[in-house]
Amino acid sequence: MKRFRILMVVVIGIMCLTAIAYADVPRVINYQGKFTDNEDNPLSGNYLVTFKFYDAASGSSALWEEGHILTMKNGVFNALLGSIRPLDMDFNKDLWLGVEVASDGEMSPRIKLTSSAYAMNAESLDMLDSSQLLRNDVDSVMSGSLTLKKDLVLRGNTSAPSRIILTDGQGREYYLWMDNSGNLRIKQGSPSSSKDGDMILKQKAGGISNVLMRNATLILLAMAILIGIKILSSAKKKQP
């Protein structure tokens, strides 16, 4: 039989748990409550209290766990969850908090995590839900057109160039990128190297690209050879 129970729980705040938050805001939860024994006598003294987060009201494995040595006076305690082990969890779903004092076993039922009105409002920005915003730290998906009034800058690195992926109506992907020689290339399907794919002709300001000049030269040379062969053939036919 469990010797302890919790009389009241107050979650003071959840900070920096949405996708749009400032990097220097502490990612912690300030948690307060009051412990009593099974005869409703408030606890006093130092106790080891273990806090766990779950994604279910019962069963399942803990997503996060942290232990605190708390000093209780008249049963009242305060704990800063996340101050020992980072709260590296996804808070965009329902979560339950499990609490255990000493080795008395986890209390039942688990406490469902809630938010304040201001915390719910923080999920949106200018009336846009956080799911409608693009992020640069994870892959983002959006629908609708994206219009930029300034430059779109994509920067590659020494391991791979930046690429643009285009999809046609049949779902085929075409990769567009700049190779290490400064040539713009395109290929259906993922390229295997920087030089893979077809080269798109590139023009410098006021001039014709080297590729276009080389191709034009080859075409003219081939035409000259054909004309020469035809002239020689005609001359042989005219000889007596």
pLDDT tens for residues 166-213? 888 888 898 888 888 888 888 888 888 888 888 876 545 555 556 666
Q: How confident is the model at residue 2 (pLDDT cuts 50, 70, 90)?
A: low
- pLDDT tens, position by position, 34-43: 888 888 888 8
Q: Which of 46-60, 66-80, 141-155 has the lowest mean pLDDT?
A: 141-155
pLDDT at 10: 42
What is the DSSP code (8-state) at residue 216?
H
CA gap 62, 96 in Å, rounded:
10
Q: How confident is the model at residue 69 (pLDDT cuts 50, 70, 90)?
A: very high
Q: Which residues pair with 64 in a beta bridge?
A: 53
pLDDT at 132: 65
pLDDT at 48: 92
Whether pTM exceeds 0.85: no
pLDDT average, residue stretch 136-157 = 76
The three-class DSSP label of residue 171 is coil
CA gap 36, 20 in Å, rounded:
39
Which helix or strand (DSSP H or E) is residue 59 part of? none
pLDDT at 17: 42
CA gap 149, 143 in Å, rounded:
19
